[in-house]
Chains A and B, each alone.
Chain A
Amino acid sequence: MVEARQDGDDCLLEVRDLTKIFGEFRANDGIDLKINSSEVHALLGENGAGKSTLVKMLFGSLEPSGGQIYWKGDPVEIRSPGQARALGIGMVFQHFSLFEALTVAENIALSMDNDVPIEKLADQAEKLSREYGLPLDPNAHVADLSVGERQRIEIVRTLLQNPELIILDEPTSVLTPQEADKLFETLEKIRSEGRSVLYISHRLEEVKRLCDRATVLRHGKVTGACDPGQETAASLARMMVGSEVKAVTQHAGSAGDEVLLQTNGLSAPARTPFAVALKNINLSVNRGEIIGIAGVAGNGQSELFEMLSGEFLAHDANAIAIGGKPVGKLDISGRRLLGAAFVPEERHGHAAVSQMSLSDNMILARHRSDAKVFLEGGPLKIINRGAVKTAAQRIVEDMDVRKSGEDPQASSLSGGNLQKYIVGRELDRQPSVMIVNQPTWGVDAGAASRIRQALIDLAENGSAVVIISQDLDEIFEVATKIAVINEGTLTEAEPAADMTLERIGLLMGGVHGEDHGSEASHAH
């Protein structure tokens, strides 16, 4: 540590023994971290490792419970984001900190601590965005912009503060591979200007490619510091996860001929100003197939899920068929009775009610399909709590759900454990059609692998599975066929073996047709 101070000439930020405790939970436990000037420093760790907690303390939005932060060698207390900005720390948030109802210029003004008139800020932003090749229209409303454009706003407004350290929280998780390449170019430029970047990610390949040094977190503790260029993806993964994660195994596909789920020219207008309209979606899933639907967030994934699940009904009964029966006008309970099962993206407030117990959350999805077991008393529909609890316990055991207490509230489970419960709740019915939106979003590696394996096993036992996911690695890992959704249109599904990352990336960005695809693959 003493040495660390002495060569501290080019040490920009140092963190010693930083700790954050929520209640009894140690989210960060004695973190040491050192970032030099002009370096891209990776902060690696899986979901729940404490990365976000750490950077929130660095940016002044969380108050540390213990430890010390040094900025250019001097101890500092960062009490607010404004103070962090004054020091020279800028932050690009994972889920963005933008205001949908406001314009780009107004959004930028909100993160500036001076009182420069908005018109002038807009000019500055436009100039800067051209310099960095991140084109922006200052008068556009954020609500109308794509995810990639929104990230540009975040980056431009951070750069406008002329920071010495830029923190990026999982920036590529919402980008197409091509957009990510563009981002890496920008980061190279930022580094060449003598600024530093703290780059948070759980994607090993991009960290190896981009970062000079890496610090790895697990369960709130530093488990390694290394030069990612010298490591293999496997060794980084070990530091991140702690033990080997069981690889997902896929047997040679034995897809049947029987079509279990089909859409025929499914279209739906946007229900709200913030939603995406679905246009002429044709999808056909056979017994034993897993179709992966890739796409950048906000391109109609939720809308497609709502249509397939029957949470919102199609205008034409024939637009959707389950097991050959037209179900476009059948509600979600009716579709479940036909053997379909659904797992939406949002765990809290959609797939589960946070403040209800696990057994109550069992009734949520299965009161109709399992009415014979769960309900009694005829038309009174009295809930048989005993039967429900038995079923909930069965799922907890099958999916290895870790919980405290006999029947705890859904809110008390970690993301991974709740997701295992939610997926298990549907698998337990042995559905013939299973539709899952973002199956492992925000889930730790162990739980993710277990969920993916369960979905593969389901397909191998003769069910049709649809996985909507932003995680291309996940799609390649489990899907037998891949389709891409972009602005509410879906490409034709193609065998996974014939798909490349480049091609999917182009489709995700809205470039269709063979010409572009082959050009791009030649270029690489």
Chain B
Amino acid sequence: MDLTQAVILTIVTAATPLLLAAIGELVVERSGVLNLGVEGMIIMGAAVAFAVAKLSGNPYLGALCGALTGAAFSLLFGFLTLTLVTNQVATGLSLTILGLGLSGMIGESFVGQAGVPLNEIAIPVLSTIPFIGPLLFNQDIIFYISILLIFGVSWFLFRTRAGLRLRAIGDNHHSAHALGTPVIRTRYLAVMFGGACAGLAGAQLCLVYTPQWVENMSAGRGWIALALVVFGSWRPLRVLAGAYLFGAVTIGQLHAQALGVAIPSQFLSALPYLATIVVLVLISRNRRLTLMNTPACLGQGFVPDR
């Protein structure tokens, strides 16, 4: 493996958690719900995935439990915002705060311990293709899932009746309700899907990216994933592109730090965050584009008449 390949590989690994969390949040937002708790769900997924993998010795079980934890944790958010119609911004924030706290307690006893990494699975034949083979077809299972999810979600949203219903609910929940489409139930499912994706993103962090538990190891990725959804204007393939772009920025600054570029490391570390702001500005300054793409009911509570 040459240097270029090695660099691209690290970019892919850095991008996968962003991609997973963002594609989950994309589905949530398409249904008209804004869940700002992505960061909390990622870190909960990471803590549980690490603990389960460590205790059982099976990283696959860990990853599965990470995803399930994310989904279960998102139900808290779902119950408050969907059943009790609380403010989605504030509720998402409290999910993040709670997640950071709970994960710290779960992970407390694992600090400093070596993790159980997920191994690569080489896909026969394909992995021997020169250059791209080792990059795309000799990866861990979470990478494969992330790619499948991007195309799966794209197909679901734009090619199936259920996906059409979900988009319709995000566009106008009153109309959807009047036609008999189950608004609340669909949103619960979307929120749980988003939670599972974020949980899996957390599992990737502690089983693949850095196989160990570090407190607050999500390091703002949940927020970057939220920005990626806006960046991708709620379209899966654009989110894919955005996630890899951000992966590249993150890895680029790490390499720059390692090479001892004459820029303070703190400035390089701030790059992904600054890049997020710049990208948000570039995307959102086109009001027409944002207006046309944003799900019209995003963030609004819905109480059905009965």
Which residues from chain A sit less than 8 Å from chain B, CB to CB?
56, 60-63, 80-82, 84-85, 93, 96-102, 106, 109-111, 115, 272-274
Contact = CB atoms under 8 A, between A and B. Distances in A.
A84 B178 CA distance: 12
B161 A109 contact: yes
Contacts of A101: 167, 171, 292, 295-296
Contact of A97 (B179, B292, B305): B179
B130 interface: no
A110 B179 contact: yes
Contact of B305 (A56, A93, A110): A56
B238 interface: no
The main secondary structure of chain A at its interface with chain B is loop
Interface residues of B, number: 23
A96 B288 CA distance: 24
Nearest to A82: B180
B178 A106 contact: no
- Secondary structure at the B interface, as helix, strand, loop or mixed, is helix
Nearest to A62: B305
Nearest to A81: B180
Interface in B272-306: 287-288, 291-292, 295-296, 305-306
Nearest to B175: A97
Contacts of B171: 99-102
B196 interface: no
Interface string B74-91: 000000000000000000
Given A80-B180, A93-B178, A109 B305 contact: no
Contacts of B295: 101
B172 A81 contact: no
B306 A110 contact: no
Contact of B175 (A98, A106, A273): A98
Given A61-B180, A96-B175, A272-B291, A102 B168 contact: yes
A100 B172 contact: yes
A273 B161 contact: no
Contacts of A82: 180
A110 B181 contact: yes
Given A101-B171, A102-B164, A110-B164, 10 more contacts: A56-B305, A81-B180, A93-B178, A96-B175, A99-B171, A101-B295, A102-B168, A106-B168, A273-B288, A273-B291
B305 A61 contact: yes
B26 to A, nearest CB: 15
Given A56-B305, A62-B306, A273-B292, A99 B172 contact: yes
Contacts of B181: 110
Interface in B162-180: 164-165, 167-168, 171-172, 174-180
